[in-house]
Amino acid sequence: MIKIGIILPCYNEEQVLYESARILTKLLNRLISLKKITPTSRILYIDDGSNDGTWNLIKALSDKHSKVGGIKLSRNFGHQNAILAGLLTVKGDAIVSLDADLQDDVNTIEAMIDDHLKGSEIVYAVREDRSIDSRFKRISAHFFYKFMNFIGSDVVYNHADFRLLSRRAINALKEFREINIFLRGVVPLIGLKSSIVYYKRNQRAAGKTKYPLRKMINFAIDGITSFSVAPLRVITVIGFVIFSMSLIMIVYIFWVWLFSNSAVPGWASTTLPIYFLGGIQILFIGILGEYLGKTYQEIKGRPRYLIEESVNTSIKSNEINKK
């Protein structure tokens, strides 16, 4: 038997917490009866700066269920840092992370534990398909994963943040100290034995998604710029191509001027290159700015999260912890 922790980052999830706690405590009790996990296994909700009644509900659930606990971050630090806070807070032989909206099939956790007991230090839960997603989301997700693989990141295709990490894997994860952490890219770098289990994703039980288009774009940009310098290399390649095209254009212009009478002065040949090169330069400055901004954040060394309050955990109440 092993002791596991189940961590669920929350942001304005008051509509699903009761149902989530009911389903997960039922799952824990069943796994305990099967002697796969110890009775000390826990569920931990991480309130990532919610502005509704999420934290009050977490406290109420912790009073009702001895296996349920929670930590309240002092503000919204983002989904990835909320998961990290849970991973570094919960005690156990293995930790499972998933979202609180019940879209991830919790019954998959048993198969993940079975794989861990067979020797896997990391178990990825991967979606069988994206049939419940919109066409736009399916296409954009496919492009994102393929692009991440293209630039050298070993992200697991169709895997989000539903995974099991052993204590050994979590100890290795502690060595990755970057502020802009991208767990989908970092976890494969740990390099320990891993496996994959497949599941079907459910419709959201209640509430609305916390990842609208704007956040999806920001998340993709963070993932790409936090994990690869490939965009900087692309800038170099494009710059070389444009420079080569400019040399060819200069040769062509001289050839027309010297050997042809068809040279007609016009604004198009002057204006279009100006707009084109101007747009390229602004785009490249923006990409460089992304990297400079992330470098600035890393140099400042600010905490990745701060814990304001906790219930049913080993953390002292009202103690501010930083990582």
Spans of all domains in the chain: 4-213+304-322, 230-300
**CA 175 – CA 141 distance, rounded (Å):** 29
Q: Judge whether residue 104 has pLDDT over 50.
A: yes
Mean pLDDT of 26-44: 93
pLDDT at 56 over 90: yes
CA distance 259 to 143: 48
Q: What is the pLDDT of residues 202-249, one digit of tens each?
A: 776 555 655 555 666 666 666 666 666 667 667 767 777 776 776 676
More confidently predicted of 298 and 198: 198
Q: Cα separation of 299 and 205, whole Å?
A: 41
Q: Write down the pLDDT at residue 73.
A: 94
Q: How confident is the model at residue 320 (pLDDT cuts 50, 70, 90)?
A: very low
Over residues 215-228, the pLDDT tens digits come to 666 666 666 666 66
pLDDT over 60 at 25, yes or no: yes
Alpha helices in the chain (DSSP H): 17-33, 54-64, 79-89, 108-117, 135-150, 167-173, 183-190, 213-227, 230-259, 268-300
60 to 14, 41, 311, 323: CA distances (angstroms):
12, 19, 10, 27
For 4-213+304-322, CATH number out of 3.30.390.10, 3.90.550.10, 3.40.30.10, 3.30.590.10 equals 3.90.550.10
Considering the entire predicted model, what is its pTM?
0.74
pLDDT at residue 177 is higher than 70:
yes
pLDDT value of position 318: 40
pLDDT at 224: 66
Check pLDDT > 70 for residue 184. Answer: yes
